[in-house]
Amino acid sequence: MLVTAALVACLVAGGCSSGDRLFPPSPLHQTFPSPDELSRAVLAALADEDADHLHSLALSELEFRTVVWPELPSSRPERGLPFDYVWGDLNQKSTNALRRLVARHGGRRYTLAGVAFRGETTPYETYRVHREAILDLVDEEGNELTLPLFGSILERDGEFKLFSYVVD
């Protein structure tokens, strides 16, 4: 009965944050069963110069707030980093990197040959982050290329989501 009262109070007050852990984190949207499938979706949107779709493939503010942020060391109160600052910085850097990506590679058609990660994989409680994604590609002329078109990929429950377009 006490738990029910707490849930009702939380809902009436405008919702519970994921830090309350009364509700599980919201699911991720625009996920893929493998890094390869995710990379193919990025390449297709890039070929179409569809910046809106490319943007939707990366973590949204809600996804970052409910899934990622609660498990990051920077979210601990003793760190003193407000969510809005961390999200604003990541989102601005990702948006700028996305603009550069579309300007440089938009309209080009690449075929994916493979995905590798040059950075470490960082495990968290409910997800992992695979860092420094590198794509092995073949362009329309048959040239083989290795390009870092985006930064990290988040893996959660066997699904993959683009973390951001920031290439570290």
Q: Rounded to two decimals, what is the model's pTM?
A: 0.83
Locus of tokens 């982050």 = 129
- Per-residue pLDDT at 16 exceeds 90: no
- Per-residue pLDDT at 30 exceeds 50: yes
Name the DSSP class of 30: S
Residue type, 32: F
> Is 155:128 a contact under the CB 8 Å cutoff?
yes
Give the mean pLDDT of 23-47. 89
β-strand 111-117 against 133-138: which pairing, if any? Answer: antiparallel
How high is the pLDDT of residue 8? 36
How high is the pLDDT of residue 168? 72
Structure token pair of residue 41: 């979706």
> Is 133:35 a contact under the CB 8 Å cutoff?
yes
* Cα–Cα dist 138/34, whole Å: 19
For the stretch 131-166, pLDDT in tens is: 999 999 999 999 999 999 999 999 999 999 999 999
**Rg of the Cα trace of the chain?**
18
Locus of tokens 């009436």 = 12
